[in-house]
Amino acid sequence: MGPLVSERPSVLTGLRRLLRGAGVVLLLVLVVAFVAVLVSLRLLADGADAEAIELARRWNEVVLVVVGVLGVVAVVLGWMVWQAVQRGVTAPLGTLAAEVRKASAGEHDHEIPRVGAGEVAALSRDVENMRRELVQQVAEAREAHAEAEDAQDRLQEQARELERSNRDLEQFAYVASHDLQEPLRKVASFTQLLQKRYGGQLDDRADQYIAFAVDGAHRMQRLIQDLLSFSRVGRSGVAHEDVDLESVLRQVLADLSQRIEDEGAEVTHDPLPVVRGEKGLLTMLLRNVVGNALKFRHPDRPPRVHVTARRGEDGASWELACSDNGIGIDPQYAERVFVIFQRLHPKEVYSGTGIGLALVKRVVEHHGGRVWIDPDATQGTTIRWTLAASA
């Protein structure tokens, strides 16, 4: 179906043609009147006789009659133009405006009818097309909003399920670790007693088996103690306070002084800030990162450990780092080292339970920070983490 304008001449086009024709007629009449006046003036100037003057007077009367008739025609034409504008433009536009007001008031499903002809009809058609597009967009927006709300509800439910699962898992780890302590302590005690009493009295294989049992019991005790420490993070209910990390690190180095001396290590640090947190957990954090740096030393050189701190870009946190000259960590394992019980080396080469860095991550995240392995470290390993600055 072609456009409405091509099917029927528009009202405005008809009015333009009518006014153009009336203008031509008016111009011709004015020219005739002007010529008649000029002729009359010429006759008077030339001293024409009475007959000529009478003829000129009659022509003037004719011109006056024509001008009068033309005035009446102009009035009638003006009234016709006003009526045409009223019927073809003003009334349709008023109807269209009323329909648009209904749509803007919320009646989006109310169809806007075609009104008028020509350009006005085309305008009403365009407005109706816009209404339909708006209705479609509103429907799509409502559908998208409903889908987003549904997804949000599912996400919140999954978050609640995850939170419940984490609580249950933490409770299980705490109870299991606590309840396993007593029977394991008995196993360790009796295997040690067996080793002391019968060591050397049995054959070498029996002594080896007893040694395996004692070592396994000790490793299990350390594992349970570490697991208990891991499960206790965030469960103490201790309010966060300003903690001087400089003082905390001094205490950690004092606790590790014998180990540092035995390994010929050197541990240095920049001035450390005051942060918000739990002092006990932050002590555990520094003990683990420094201890980890000492443990994974390079066999060809003594350990060198350096702790640094710099203000975070947001100004509300501190970024700390512990760098060493040890064996380093392959970048492909940069995330795996923070997973509990994940080990990159056999226990015969490097002792431990595989909880150290997982505990570090848990403590940092409990304080609202994040921890990662610096991929740009040129030697050894650099562990970075963030903590909130003091108020």
Residue-wise pLDDT tens digits, 359-381:
889 899 988 999 998 888 878 88
Task: Specify the DSSP class assigned to residue 332.
Answer: G
pLDDT at 42: 64
Residue 85 contacts by C-beta under 8 Å, 6 or more apart in sequence?
11, 15
Residue 2 confidence class, pLDDT cut points 50, 70, 90: very low
Where is pLDDT greater, at 183 or 1? Answer: 183
Helix (H, G, I), strand (E, B), or coil: what is residue 241? strand
107 inside domain: yes
Same domain, 317 and 361: yes
Residue 142 lies inside a defined structural domain of this protein: no
Whole-prediction pTM: 0.52
224/243 same-domain check: no
Domain end call among 177, 194, 228: 228
Rounded CA-CA distance 78/82 in Å is 6
Whether the per-residue pLDDT at 169 is higher than 90: the answer is no
Decide the pairing of beta strands 304-311 and 266-269.
parallel
Question: How confident is the model at residue 40, as a pLDDT?
Answer: 63
| One domain for residues 317 and 362 | yes
Rg (CA), the chain: 49
**What is the mean predicted confidence (pLDDT) over 212-228?**
74
Sequence-separated (6 or more) residues with CB below 8 Å from residue 287:
252, 255, 256
Q: Which of 100, 117, 134 is the last residue of a domain?
A: 117
Task: Give the CA distances from residue 247 to residues 70, 244, 304, in Å, rounded to whole numbers and listed in that order.
Answer: 109, 6, 20
- Same-domain check for residues 357 and 300: yes
C-alpha span between 222 and 135 (Å, rounded): 67
The distance of Cα 363 from the centroid of its chain, to the nearest Å, equals 27
The per-residue pLDDT for 165 is 79
Q: Is residue 299 domain-shared with residue 382, that is, in the same domain?
A: yes
Last residue of a domain, one of 92, 117, 142: 117
Are 182 and 254 members of one domain?
Answer: no
What gap in Å lies between CA 62 and CA 36, rounded to an integer?
A: 10
Q: Is 68 exposed, middle or buried (0-12, 13-18, 19+ CB in 10 A)?
A: exposed
Q: Could you read off the pLDDT of 129-158 as tens digits, one per residue?
A: 777 787 778 788 888 888 999 999 999 999
Mean pLDDT of all residues in 337-361: 69
Instruction: Please report, as a single letter, which amino acid is at residue 231.
Output: S
65-115 pLDDT, tens digit each: 777 777 777 777 777 767 666 666 666 677 767 777 776 666 666 666 666
d(CA 373, CA 338): 10
**Do residues 251 and 287 both lie within one domain?**
yes
Higher-confidence position of 173 and 352: 173
85 within domain boundaries: yes
State how many domains the chain has: 3
183: left (phi over 0), alpha (psi -120 to 50) or beta: alpha
* pLDDT > 90? residue 385: yes
Alpha helices in the chain (DSSP H): 4-7, 11-45, 50-85, 91-104, 119-198, 204-232, 245-255, 257-262, 279-295, 356-366
Residue 247 pLDDT exceeds 90 = yes
Residue 193 has pLDDT above 80, yes or no: yes
**123 assigned to some structural domain:** no
Q: Look at residue 146 and tell me if it is in a domain.
A: no
**CATH number, position 259:** 3.30.565.10
| Residue 247 counted as domain residue | yes
Residue 151 lies in a domain: no
Q: In whole angstroms, give the CA distance from residue 353 to residue 295.
A: 12
* Average pLDDT of the residues in 51-70: 70
**Which one-letter DSSP state was computed for residue 220?**
H
Q: 165 and 108, same structural domain?
A: no
Question: Do 215 and 251 have their domain in common?
Answer: no
DSSP, res 112? P
Q: How far is CA 188 from the centre of its chain?
A: 55
Structure tokens at 65: 């009659």
Whether 197 and 258 share a structural domain: no
How are beta strands 274-277 and 266-269 bridged, if at all?
Answer: unpaired
Is 336 in the same domain as 357? yes
Q: What are phi and psi of 209, to 5 degrees?
A: -65, -40
Residue 131 lies inside a defined structural domain of this protein:
no
For residue 167, what are the domain limits?
Answer: 157-228
- DSSP SS3 for 197: helix
Percent of the chain with pLDDT over 70: 67
Could you report the per-residue pLDDT of 280-332, keeping only the tens digit for each? Answer: 889 989 998 998 888 888 888 899 999 999 998 888 899 999 999 988 887 78
Asked whether residue 249 falls in the same domain as residue 208, the answer is no
Neighbours of 267 (CB within 10 A): 20
Q: What is the pLDDT at residue 346?
A: 52
Selection from 300, 361, 368, 296 nearest residue 329 by Cα: 296
**DSSP for 282-319, written as a single string:** HHHHHHHHHHHHHHT--TTS--EEEEEEEE-TTSSEEE
